[in-house]
Chain A
């Protein structure tokens, strides 16, 4: 099994790197490749089973777009073929139609999805930040997490959404769903240690990658942390501020 961690040198905000750090403990047999921003992605020249990207700054979104735009066809081919993509935080915006800036200008996205990521300004001219805890579902699975961002993804149809919202902010204010999915491409605004906080989803991904009877590293500990968090999020607490 080959996993390519794309641009961990810049996609490393908010603890996102924890996901692959933990994931590789669950699949010690996997070959994991870190591809820095200045290097050519491995997926262009060989097949990989999983590609991941994490949260980055807005300027690094642009740098990544500039590097990946020439390879849109290859990315589409891999997505169609069922390659697993895990895109956390604002990195999934790169795969939409465009990122629209507060001045109305747009950066062209990779176009795997049709949504537009839209940024807004506060009254005094700063990018507006949105913070929210999250409780949702993925099939039978209960998903917990957190989002903190400068934008919303507008134009996601319910059919291509990843999670249903139970509590907290979805892909955009009022949206009853969160993130995007196409085949095995999973994109979510949930950021930081998203996998580390959702052991069942880790198992699900391991299953997609063909691991028989997936086993989690430190299973009791990850499960306990998940259960405590889930119980707290089900209480009447403040979700966004």
Chain B
């Protein structure tokens, strides 16, 4: 009976997919939804392909999953992933539908799945991944995720005992997951840019879990990411099994030490958080058995598809549209750090209010007090435009950050704000939330309209 229900669900799911494709609709969630509605234990009923890889964590899971899928494909594996779909149960169910034929027999070699950390409880226990990468755990949306310890407890409860873990040794919030499971750790050795005391407003793991003493650091990268130790009781971060020992931006390569041997790989993307994602993928797939040559060759031809990042040159000015993920104070702080430390005369246009909340509710704005807007207090940042319904909250936030009032433009209407934007600078930054991407594209058009079209060209990242 259960099998019959499963096959009905599978066929309905496949039919739903075919129909949506025919109608040229996005078909990443609905087929999975159909499957789960008809067969609630669809995950458990689906016959798994030989290798199942999952990736979860607060930040970096999409990039890491995509790299893993691409590397496996380059190594000759037939892979299904949910890269264009959602990372909650419906998106994963859609991927499972694609991974089997109409008689339920696996037709691919591997699944590479991005899994939402909170939904993991509805997914991991039923699909029993062979491997799970946890990129990191930070504070995220208060409503959905409460706090990182809450997410830690979910993962710690629901990760299957037989799943081999690939964990970030530099993140004490996630590296302590499931101590009974087999695991490998990845870590980045001390970098010249590291510090030993936290310069960020938030550190989600600042106290020794054994004795409550304030942790100290051999090196600290940002927030709680680094190598910590307790000066009182000896508690300390794990050591990496895969240690990035040299990050050479000039040569465009990283060196990874594993089992006493160093291997060199090309850097896919220069942002440090993407270096972590690459290292996670290398650790995972080396442990799985792919060779350095295979990985290095495939990484060499790879780029991070940044739908979240676009540069347009307009005369002497560069307009950079990039995401500052709203309600995720760490991700947003990374963006402020990046913009603050760039060079040249700059204007920064901030529109990160949540699009859904502004429609029929009112966004809770506590998270902006956790974002390091202090990074924007730079002499060569000439103007900061605060646009959107919460702009007055941002104004107070910027003033408390020490940014001079005369640099601030406060305007609820994003399009009116464009009119007063100082465009005579080297770089214009347009920072938007995931939910305001479409609006940001319209704003971007309006900004670019002041520059002669002939002078404009899209720049590669």
Contact = CB atoms under 8 A, between A and B. Distances in A.
Interface of A: 9-10, 12-18, 21-22, 25, 36-38, 57-59, 63, 124, 126-127, 129, 131, 133, 146, 148, 150, 191-193, 196, 217-218, 221-222, 224-225, 228-229, 232-233, 237-239, 241
19 contacts: A9-B206, A14-B142, A16-B366, A18-B369, A21-B369, A21-B400, A37-B212, A57-B147, A126-B121, A146-B364, A192-B364, A192-B365, A218-B399, A221-B395, A221-B396, A224-B392, A228-B392, A232-B362, A237-B360
Contact of B366 (A10, A193, A224, A229): A193
Nearest to B408: A221
B310 to A, nearest CB: 30
Contact of A57 (B150, B213, B366): B150
B149 interface: yes
B154 A126 contact: yes
Nearest to B146: A129
A68 to B, nearest CB: 13
A17 B368 CA distance: 11
Contacts of B392: 221, 224-225, 228
Given A38-B213, A241-B143, A218 B396 contact: yes
Contacts of B365: 15, 192-193
A16 B389 CA distance: 22
Interface string B213-244: 11000000000000000001000000000000
Nearest to B392: A225
Q: Among A14, A15, A218, A233, which residue has the most Cβ atoms of chain B within 10 A? A: A15
A38 B214 contact: yes
Given A38-B213, A38-B214, 5 more contacts: A13-B142, A131-B142, A146-B364, A192-B364, A238-B360
Nearest to B121: A124
B362 A15 contact: no
A118 to B, nearest CB: 17
A9 B207 contact: yes
Contacts of A129: 143, 146
A57 B149 contact: yes
Contacts of A38: 207-208, 211-214, 232
A37 B210 CA distance: 12
A224 to B, nearest CB: 5
Nearest to A57: B149
Given A131-B143, A133-B364, A221 B149 contact: no
Given A13-B139, A191-B366, A150 B146 contact: yes
A141 B19 CA distance: 58
B361 interface: yes
A237 B361 contact: yes
A17 B329 CA distance: 14
A215 to B, nearest CB: 15
Interface in B373-398: 389, 392-393, 395-396
B139 to A, nearest CB: 7
A229 to B, nearest CB: 7
B367 interface: yes
B362 A36 contact: no
B82 to A, nearest CB: 22
A228 B411 CA distance: 13
Contact of A10 (B139, B143, B207, B362): B207
Contact of A14 (B366, B389, B393, B395): B366
B396 A148 contact: no
A15 B146 CA distance: 13
Contacts of A217: 400
B64 to A, nearest CB: 25
Contacts of B370: 14-15, 17
B201 interface: yes
Contact of B396 (A58, A191, A222): A222
B393 A148 contact: no
B212 A146 contact: no
B72 interface: no
B282 interface: no
